[in-house]
Amino acid sequence: MNHGRDRSEVTSLDTSTAASAGGGPRVEVAARQFTGDDQHLFATLSGDSNPMHLDEDVARLTPAGARAVHGVHTVLWTLETLAAREDALSDLAALQVKFSNFAVVGQNVTLALRNAKDGSAKIEVISDGLALTSVTLKFGARASVARPSRGNPTPLPMPATPLDPAFETMRDFHAWLQPAAPLSAFDSAFPLLSRALGPERVRALALLSSLVGMVCPGMHSIFSEFTAEIMEIDQSRPGMEVWTRSVDTRFRRVSMGFAGSGLMGEVSALYRFPPIESSLATISTLVDPTEFAGRLALVVGGSRGLGAATAKLIVAGGGKAVITFARGVRQAEGICRELNSRYGAGRCSAMQFEVGLTPEAALADAGGPFTHIYYFATPQIFRPATELFSMSDFVAFNRVYVEAFYNLIAALPPLPGRSVCYPSSVAVEKRPKKMTAYAMAKAAGEILCEDLQRSIPGLTIRAPRLPRILTDQTAVVPPVEAADAVEVMLAFLRAETAVAPPAGHIDNKEGQ
């Protein structure tokens, strides 16, 4: 073992297998996709069966937008790949890991080595040039003294379903977390890494995923980063002591310490918002039971977010709604059940409608004629990006905000006095960084609205530039100020009733 060895060997280019990054600092050495089977395997190994990793319906409502690959799984893939290089991890002393963006199931990801400095090596899991996970390895003498235990932690077997502790109770968390799978499972899944570091440490790394995803913060968690020092392994007690170091309600952040099974370090996790739902109990107190009577609304994208809030407001106000969904059948049917139970059968129905497909057939069975159309269909808005503008993102936004909207309006049987809501965005004026494609598509949609209204007699289209609204898509952590969906849409619905704009007029004042 040569402790003085130049760590840049870890990042050295193997010209037979690696693709040079055009002379740039990253050297790609491996690539893969994580599959659904991979998710279940890692969930079994680690005990982290948080549905954001396994259930597509649940994952849609998280910031990842799809089943998120366990961050720690990407770390173990990284280390397993490195362990194939002789002695690459032999004097590993510590690692520092940051989870910057989600990797999702089916996404192409690449392992890239970066230039080492200060005796360390940096490896990134990247996709389309964007870093998802970064692992910094430090080499040298390992810590010889373990931190003293903080008392007698309560044994905590791996829960079968994620816990959902209240934020306030996280401050006092202190336990001995027990592993979910035997060591032999790690010898099998990560053979090279287990030989290099010992299966106890590999299992301990996997256990960090469960600490965050199953225990604290648990159900509504995002693993942000961790550091781990390599220690002597205590064979007598599998698992690790875990404890809360700090809780910060401003950022919804929990910092925890851990020690055991040959590792000690710190974990930082965020407590994300639960799925955002507009409470019908609250809505019913805000709305006069007849103020929207006579409306038969088609709410495109009505299974969540602004669409769900709008449907609930209309029905609570005496109207009827047909809500459409692309994939959220459970959410859509749940909304209808709740509304029909409270306000009477037939007040709300749901239908599957994939924007982009020919709408005529769907509209024929939809139960119109609709007096009001609310178009909330949207692809994922916030997309990690490395460039100012992405043509593929622009195409995706246009497909929904322009093409599909046009096809729907053009396919509707004419009805004089019909009112259409096309939610534009303040992003058209304010142009937040890396949202150029989104702002351009919304601006194009506004122009389309003006021209549609000019060409279709009796049609009124309002395209309010809405502010950032708290929805599953926008409920990021640390939290960013956002308006309330019910408040914003109630104001709009009432403006629809109160104001009949002259022909050819498009309303696109902010927030109206």
Partner 1 sequence: MTRDEIKWKIGELLADFLEEDKIELADDTVADDVDGWDSITHMKLVLAVEEFYGIRFESDEIAAPENVGALADLIANKCAEK
Question: Which residues form the interface with partner 1 (CB under 8 A)?
Answer: 100, 224, 248, 250-251, 253, 433, 476, 478, 480-481
In angstroms, what is the minimal distance from the CB of 144 to partner 1?
Answer: 27
3-state secondary structure of 3: coil
Q: How far apart are the first and last CA of the chain?
A: 69
Nearer to partner 1, 14 or 248 (CB): 248
Query: What DSSP line would sit under 433-496, residue for residue?
Result: TT-HHHHHHHHHHHHHHHHHHHHSTT-EEE--EE--B-STTT--SS----B-HHHHHHHHHHHH
Task: Round to whole Å and give the CA distance between 182 and 459.
Answer: 66
Q: How many H-runs (helices) and E-runs (strands) does the chain carry?
A: 16, 20
Toward partner 1, which CB reaches closer, 384 or 414?
384
Alpha helices in 211-274 (DSSP H): none
> Least CB distance from residue 10 to partner 1, whole Å?
17
- Nearer to partner 1 (CB atom), residue 222 or residue 315: 222
Smallest separation, CB 302 to partner 1 (Å): 30
Backbone torsions φ then ψ of 187, nearest 5 degrees = -55, -35
In the complex with partner 1, which residue's Cβ is closer, 253 or 372? 253
Whichever of 131 and 400 has its CB closer to partner 1, that residue is 131
Query: Least Å distance between CB 120 and partner 1?
Result: 10
Rounded least distance, CB 177 to partner 1, Å: 25
With contact defined as beta carbons under 8 Å apart, do 300 and 374 qualify? yes
Q: CA geometry: angle at 200 spanning 33 and 139, to 5°?
A: 80
Give dist(CA 12, CA 33) in Å, integer: 24
Residue 100: CB minimum distance to partner 1, A: 7
Give the nearer residue to partner 1 in terms of CB position, either 364 or 480. 480
Compare residues 44 and 120 and give the one whose CB is closer to partner 1. 120
The token pair that represents 369 in the structure block = 């004629």
C-beta of 272: minimal distance to partner 1 in Å?
13
Nearer to partner 1, 56 or 248 (CB): 248
Q: How far is the CB of 249 from partner 1 (least distance, A)?
A: 8
Q: Residues 90, 137: contact at Cβ < 8 Å? A: no
Pairing label, strands 320-325, 296-300: parallel
Query: Which is nearest to 97 in space by CA: 124, 65, 70, 63?
Result: 124
**C-alpha to C-alpha distance for 242 and 256, rounded to whole angstroms:** 7
Least distance from C-beta 266 to partner 1, angstroms?
A: 13
Whichever of 57 and 387 has its CB closer to partner 1, that residue is 387
Buried (b) or exposed (e) across 460-473, using 16+ Cβ within 10 A?
Answer: bbbbbbbebbbbbb
Which single residue is written with the structure tokens 């019909």?
A: 418
Least spacing, CB of residue 48 vs partner 1, in Å: 21
- Could you give phi then psi for residue 179, rounded to 5 degrees? -75, 165
* Minimum CB distance to partner 1 smaller for 227 or for 340: 227
Position 312, amino acid: K
Cβ-contact 233, 198 below 8 angstroms: yes
